[in-house]
Amino acid sequence: EMRLVESGGAVVQPGGSLRLSCSASGFIFSDYAMHWVRQVPGKGLEWVSLIRWDGSSTFYADAVRGRFIISRDNSKNSLYLQMNSLKHEDTALYYCIKEDYSGYSVDCWGRGTLVTVSS
């Protein structure tokens, strides 16, 4: 069974940094692109970032480009999101998600990890 488990969420002050992790199991992690998406409590989902299967390319939403860095370690079946210069509006539940074979859909979600940016 495919499984994704996020960790690293915390309360952090504006301007601070945080590193989220996502541990994958139940599938060949190195075969698939991975994404981060986020959800503000009570609001809709927002795509944040994507990394290709081999880490060769990364993509970011305009709202986080230049502040967040996505990375992966295929030897550890792990995905990361380094979040710098955090703003109040980055407060959200962050999900790690796996692309399916087509590349245009998602077939596995984690439970999410909560990031709260507050002074």
Residues forming contacts to another protein in the complex (CB under 8 A) are: 35, 37, 43-47, 50, 59, 61, 95, 100, 102-107, 109-112
The DSSP call for residue 100 is -
| Nearer of residues 1 and 13 to another protein, judged by Cβ | 1
The DSSP call for residue 30 is G
Min dist. Cβ of residue 83 to another protein (A): 19
| Nearer of residues 80 and 110 to another protein, judged by Cβ | 110
Closest of 15, 39, 3 to residue 115, by C-alpha: 39
Min dist. Cβ of residue 37 to another protein (A): 7
